[in-house]
Amino acid sequence: MIRELHIENVVVIERATVLFDSGVTAITGASGAGKSVLLSALSLACGARSESDVIRSGCDEARVDLRFDVVTADGKVEERVLTRVVPREGRSRAYIDGRPSTAHALADLATSAIEIHGQHEQHRLGSVRVRSDLLDLFGGLSREEADRCAGEIAALRAEITALGGDAAERQRELDFLEYQLNEIDQLAPGEHELDDLLNEERVLRDVDRIRSVAAQLLDALDNDERLRVAARELQPLESFASIAERLDGVFAELDDLAGEVRGQLSNLDDDPERLAHIRERVSALKGLCRRYGDSMSEVLAFRDGLVEQSDRLRHHDERAGELDVAMTSAVNEYERIAEVLRRQRLECAPRLGTVVTEHLVSLGMPHARFDVDVAGTDGGEVEFLFAPSGSDDPRPLGRTASGGETARCMLALDLAIGRDSDLRSSVFDEIDAGVDASAGDAIAHALSAAANGRQIIVVTHLATVAAAATSHLVVDKHHVGDTPYSTIGRVDGGEREREIARILTGSDDSESVTVARRLLER
User: Using one digit for the tens of pLDDT, what is the confidence trace for 327-366?
Assistant: 999 999 999 999 999 999 999 999 999 999 999 988 888 8
Q: Where are the alpha helices (DSSP H) in 363-434?
A: 397-400, 403-417
Per DSSP, what are the bridge partners of residue 486? 477
**Residue 512, SS3 per DSSP:** helix
The Cα–Cα gap between 112 and 127 comes to 13
Q: What is the distance between the terminal CA atoms of the chain, rounded to a whole angstrom?
A: 27
Per DSSP, what are the bridge partners of residue 114? 425
More confident residue, 452 or 476: 476
More confident residue, 276 or 222: 276
* pLDDT value at 421 more than 50: no
β-pair type (13-19, 23-28): unpaired
Read off the pLDDT of residues 229-283 as tens digits, 9 standing for 90 and up: 666 766 777 777 788 778 778 778 777 777 777 766 666 666 678 778 888 999 9
DSSP state letter for 4? E
Lowest mean pLDDT among 129-133, 221-225, 241-245, 407-411: 221-225
Read off the pLDDT of residues 70-125 as tens digits, 9 standing for 90 and up: 888 787 889 999 999 999 998 999 999 999 999 999 998 998 888 887 654 445 67
Q: Report the chain's mean pLDDT, rounded to a whole number.
A: 86
Residues 6+ apart with CB under 8 A from 348: 135, 138, 139, 141, 372
pLDDT bucket at 408, cuts 50 / 70 / 90: confident
Average pLDDT over residues 464-476: 94
**Are the C-beta atoms of residues 152 and 330 closer than 8 Å to each other?**
yes
CB count within 10 Å of CB 345 equals 26
* pLDDT value at 419 more than 70: no
Closest CA to 127 of 355, 380, 337: 380
Average pLDDT over residues 189-204: 84
**Are the C-beta atoms of residues 64 and 6 closer than 8 Å to each other?**
yes
Average pLDDT over residues 283-287: 91
Average pLDDT over residues 158-185: 84
CB count within 10 Å of CB 213 equals 12
Per DSSP, what are the bridge partners of residue 204? none
Burial label, 239 (beta-carbon count in 10 A; 0-12, 13-18, 19+)? exposed
Read off the pLDDT of residues 355-399 as tens digits, 9 standing for 90 and up: 999 999 888 888 899 999 999 999 999 999 999 887 788 999 878
**Residue 114, SS3 per DSSP:** strand
| Residue-level pLDDT at 126 | 74
C-alpha separations of 435 from 24, 432, 518 in Å: 19, 6, 21
Average pLDDT over residues 205-219: 67
Residues 6+ apart with CB under 8 A from 403: 117, 118, 119, 120, 121, 429, 430, 433
Entry pTM: 0.64
Strand residue runs (E) in 88-240: 93-96, 99-101, 114-117
Lowest mean pLDDT among 51-55, 227-231, 374-378, 509-513: 227-231
| Residue-level pLDDT at 146 | 93
Angle at 96 between CA 90 and CA 100, to 5 degrees: 45
* pLDDT value at 207 more than 80: no
Report percent pLDDT > 70 for the chain: 90
* pLDDT value at 450 more than 50: yes
Length of the chain: 522
pLDDT bucket at 481, cuts 50 / 70 / 90: confident
Read off the pLDDT of residues 489-502 as tens digits, 9 standing for 90 and up: 999 999 999 999 99
More confident residue, 252 or 178: 178
φ, ψ of residue 150 in degrees (nearest 5): -60, -40
